[in-house]
Structure 1
Amino acid sequence: MAVKKHELVHDNRNQLDLTALVQYIQLMNEQPNYLPPPNELVKNCQDIVKCLARATGNEEQLWELLQSVEEFIVRIVNTVHSSIRHEIITAILDKFYSFISDPQSDACPATSVVLIVLDSSDHEATLSAARWLVQQGDNGPAGAGLRASLSCLYRWMYEWHGTPALGDWVLAYIKALEENERYDILIEVSVDNLSRLFLAMDAPIGLRQSVADVIFHVLASLRESTEALDRIAPHVGRVLVNLAADSGQWSRQLLQNVVDILTAMVDRLLEGLKGEAQDMFKDKYADVILCLERHMASRGCRFLQVPPWRARNVCLATVNTHAPMRKVGLLNLGNTCYMNSVMQALLVTRQFSTHVVLKMTAVPYWSKMGVLFAKMMHSITTKLNPDEFFKVVKPPFFTRDNQHDSSEFLGYLFELLQSYEHGSDRNFDYSRPAVLAGSSRMRAIAHAAAHASQSSSDNEHGDASPNRRSVSPRPGSSAAGSSSSGHKRSSPEHEALAPPKKRLRMNEAAFLRRDSFIDSMFGGVLLTRVECTECHSSSLSRDVFRDLQLAFPEKPEGWQHSVQNLLEYYCSKERLTGENQYECRDCGGLRDAERSVLIETTPKYLILVLKNFKFEPKLQVQTKLMHSMYHNHTVTLPTVRSQAEHAAYTLYAAVIHAGTTLDSGHYYTLAKDNDQWHMYNDDAVSAADEAQLNGLNRSSTPYILFYRRTDIEEGTAPSMEELPPKLQETVMAHNKHYVETVRKMRLTRP
């Protein structure tokens, strides 16, 4: 068995009873010469893990059960054949991981008693088991399961003392994460739990050596983190005083290690500071420094040999330079407003556009976008021709001079960019078709376009020909790079009118990569739970997204919707009945069920697509709903508890669709840059006010909303001097050409 990639948990809440389990185990323990058949043993062990995970009570209350469980498991492992033993241990660890990797499960710390299947004296065996779980868990999107499981293990350490081997297991799990270079997870989760781990030393008598080793390993690994020092600074004086008050050998050893590690931490953080910054640091941590000075650091602590954790793929630091005041528009090259509007929004996504111009100048397609962005930042003209960029990034199945869906273009662009993030632009042949990581989806959409009865045609300002229809897929379909959960949830009346579509799903490994800058900016993780209403078994799955496509619930006429309400509706419980019944493995058939969604990993930049369109069969077009709508300037994502601090977002850009159908009309953008809003209407740019977003006429509806997480700094555009030399030359040549063109025009005037 192995930890499954998507269905991480499949269990039944009603079938297992703690009292019945105790009776069964005690009965089995009273018959030392009898063991059930191998397949029944595996099921028994999984049921034990399941029951322990849902148990309630403290160590004293659970003591009898835990003793019986240990005796039963040890007897099984020592009695059965080696091949069955491996299957049993694997099944136990598999089920164990399914609970600790579920951030909503609140698994009881007593579950850790099943780790007795691992020989705590064999450190290599324990580490091998931890490696196996990390390897399996790393298949999940963005390491979400790894993050949840490490957080759960830390919680158990400071809540539970009934499992002697728990500290050894946690340290092995940490080392396995280190081997896989998951420092981002280690730093984030460890800092979040550091204060409670540190306070565990406040009662040294009950502190096991293995738990102390974990605490010191984490402290030493975080010695370059100011945030880590911030978390423990309020408790340093209290812990040192309590350790010094106890004259026992164990407390003195703990005290020396704490002093050595914290002294090294303070010294390391002071190294890079000078002058006023150094004085400010000393003032801020004066109490900590004073406490440490009362003790003598040995500088010989073995934990200081541990390499410090350093996050990989740290996003480009915000450049603190002033952007030019001039705002540059983009010429419309024949209904290319759907691309112009998206590029203006991406430009003011400053961490993204800054990274493009400074770091991606030698990467296919990225380099072309970098040239466009650099010109938009530093052109002396107010109108740019984006043809050089658009001719290489326009989806091949998008027909020229036709209106297309801006959200589909954005999804295709993200997928194209991610597919070439680590390529070289040297001698790259742009005349060849792009090869996309998720090309199966693109082929499916292209196939649908090629076999449509008629191609889309429209007038940029809404004069659509009545005998033509658009061939581009509709909002809510799984376009490239869009949320894999985009099907949730259209109101029934709209679904009934929509033509049938086959749901397409991108391979997860191709969608989210740890080394992907696209996903580090826009990628998030959805946690979906489905519960059978018959037996109450549940399954948990994780999916990745780069946008959330929000449908409108059915409401009375005149009801005012809001973005926040649509987000909450998106994550609310949904009944699966009729043709949408859930196949329950416990029941062995199709059953009614409830599905709910939470955001487990929040993206830095949140993209929301409002599904404003419904299919009109008589006209064969997507007509606009035009609901009364309030577009919140701040929203909060419904998240799991661990992400609550990263759930708030602020609006900074919106792509507006003006028109009554998707096949016609016009796209433009309202965007905020350096605290100033502007309207980007192709090549015309004018000052705007954020209040305009909720004061638009009925046919002008925000379609794509761009939100920035509140802990992300907005930043400003890099100056001309900070651009790479080759890009500087390109921009200066462009400006020189513009000056010469204007001069020639003046000379030739009559």
Structure 2
Amino acid sequence: MDKILEGLVSSSHPLPLKRVIVRKVVESAEHWLDEAQCEAMFDLTTRLILEGQDPFQRQVGHQVLEAYARYHRPEFESFFNKTFVLGLLQQGYHSLDRKDVAILDYIHNGLKLIMSCPSVLDLFSLLQVEVLRMVCERPEPQLCARLSDLLSDFVQCIPKGKLSVTFCQQLVRTIGHFQCVSTQEKELREYVSQVTKVSNLLQNIWKAEPSTLLPSLQEVFASISSTDASFEPSVALASLVQHIPLQMITVLIRSLTTDPNVKDASMTQALCRMIDWLSWPLAQHVDTWVTALLKGLAAVQKFTILIDVTLLKIELVFNRLWFPLVRPGALAVLSHMLLSFQHSPEAFHLIVPHIVSLVHSFKSDGLPSSTAFLVQLTELIHCMMYHYSGFPDLYEPILEAIKREAYAPRVFFEASRPPWFTPRSQQDCSEYLRFLLDRLHEEEKILQVQSSHKPSASLGCSETSFQGVANKAAVLTESPCPSEGEKTLIERMFGGKLRTHICCLNCRSTSQKVEAFTDLSLAFCPSSSAENLSFQDPGSSPNTQDGDLMQASVLSEEPGVYSPAPAAFVCDSAVSETMSGSPPDEICCTDNTSVPHESSKILVNKDVPQKPGGGGTPSVTDLLNYFLAPEILTGDNQYYCENCASLQNAEKTMQITEEPEYLILTLLRFSYDQKYHVRRKILDNVALPLVLELPVKRTTSFSSLSESWSIDVDFTDISENLAKKLKSSGSEEARCSRLVPYLLSSVVVHSGISSESGHYYSYARNITGTESSYQMCHQSETLTLASSQSHLLGRSGPSAVIEQDLENKEMSKEWFLFNDSRVTFTSFQSVQKITSRFPKDTAYVLLYKKQNSTNSLSGNSSTSGLWVNGDPPLQKELMDAITKDNKLYLQEQELNARARALQAASASCSFRPNGFDDNDPPGSCGPTGGGGGGGFNTVGRLVF
């Protein structure tokens, strides 16, 4: 039969005829054959498999061998013995070299055919030795991949015990020798696939025998830390990183960075080669390990290595951003390297020439992933330009490239317009602002839910209604105590919290409700707003002396806002005592009636604050006081008390418990006269303070009270009063009232006499770093929202104080007027006097920006790129000197760290009761001189 088959495959018969005859030969395998005939058939099929001249001959060999081995298993077991397999592995087959992949494939198939035979155990023992020998010979990636396939299918062939550790180490070295010289995509894909198979084999061995993992990692580090110039380990070692447990990062990095046997040159080589691993397309967690090693070296103050590696590899890391497969890891490492290299702009300036072309590439390909990476890259680049300002010639092209296209106002408005707004008709800008903020908040919530794939929690409170019953603040939907990470952008920027406290005057039971707000709507005091009204119908002139009209005129049309009716109210003396010291025996109310002081209550009229002297200009401070003033709920506005089960008179107070970053104030200028059924606009001029202090009350421990106050304000008396109360009550909790300063940022002005007609324009302020000395100086002298405190202490009106500060400090040069398509320079005096000059032009919406307790504002953002952090650019010679001194300082810190490490090592061999003096020696003289000053000579400046 073997002669027939041999003659058939070498004949010139048509291929279909050959296939028919081969099928007959395969079917005859089930017939009985003697041992010699079987051996001849096995020998022929082996020769066809290993030395076949074309794919057809090799295919025939596989088919016939498999059929005859299945039906004549004892004969095949005798043929496929240890001697035969050993000869194939060590000597090859005739003209076929022993390292040919066909031999491994043949052995792989042979093991499958005799898997159920007892002699396979002898072959396993043989292969355990032979595969180790083969790995030590550094096989090519293709052969190593076939060997990995064999060992993955037959784990019994993997060396055991000590040989297993040696096998893993040698396999790591073999991977380090892999190379691919081809530039064709097909060959590159095949190469990556082969390396992946080998790394997966190592992963399986590490899982089966964990004791082999650490020696393998030691071998990896030995390979990449080698300083032998004649050998460059392959980047294919990066394929092993994804199989190393992340839990080992801390231990391994600490071991590497603190090992005295690891020289700086070796560590530098290792770090550089790990950064090269970012080029491996399928590597995972490489950026995590590289970043961890960078942090570990910084922790032991080996700054020289970090500086050298950063300057050497920063361009390579940046170039990896061109390739989408490795872009995430490269961007993570690039961000860490740039943000930690703070002593000099040298590293950043190495990549500056390449930024513009990369940005253009991201913009042109249009892929969503490229757009996302472009956002991250531009944020990083902008941060670096901010930090290393003073290079306009370098940064100008970058600033031009990273600018996004502007949105046309009409396009933005069409996308954000409320559905009930009629096109080309007068609309309320405050209503539009609330709708816009609420919509942005809701859409971001939806995106958060979609990204987390979790059901969204209920937002808790009733949603904002723009046509519902009026109340004092626009309330955002509020989730129960969202963490900072869960808050939306609107909540973080404009969100505050308002506590409403209602006390029944019959049973003294109380109820509290905390609501979120994005803006506060401020009503005018009845006594002031009734004097300057504008009717929508010019023909009607109601009697402004009518008391009903005065009360009704402040019932606002603004959605969600109302102004309380005037009434007497009762407030706790404890609050007054806290805010203004001990209360006097008698307090004069606005109606000039003297009210005797009681032990627990002070009687005050709800009409406060009135215009001073009956003809003064009310300020935003007065309106805020009126907004926060306690109110007695009587008459038609009685409170339903659940305890009394009936309507009762009640006292209602509101307190701001959490301040927003940006405070939006809406002045309720549009009111409705219930008697004459006409709409009016309140044309009163309102003084706009540049600096506003918002009282925020929150519960905190007394031990932290001193930390919660602004640093420039003396609250000694308040602290003493609180201390007395806390001491007497034994409580460690106190409700603190903190004055949070805000700076006026923009003003929206309405020009007209009704809500159905008119024109909007706005003033906005460019806040610069030139006002840092003024930012917090107002805290003990200027605006105070407690009017009673100002009167009791005999202070002057807040508006006068602000105006005086403005005149003295000339703070009115950074304002702009935005009127349709025209933008012009203006001054704060123009903003303040707009209503006095043009009676129909009144401030409507105010935006205040929260100020920090430090004497600094946001930096000057120069669009020209001269400097963006508020600091003028230094001369080149001075910058070079600073850079050089910073580098010397880092080297000095590194030497000190090494000295301490040596002392610690020697201390383990001796006993000293008091140990060593580990205090840092004085540093080198930096820009501020000495070793303990600020500037560049501080560790905080040099962050790795």
What TM-score range do you get, normalising by the shorter chain?
Answer: 0.3 to 0.5
TM-score with structure 1 setting the length: 0.35
Rg larger for: 2
Higher relative contact order, structure no. (Cα contacts within 8 Å, ≥ 6 residues apart): 1
- TM-score, normalised relative to structure 2: 0.28
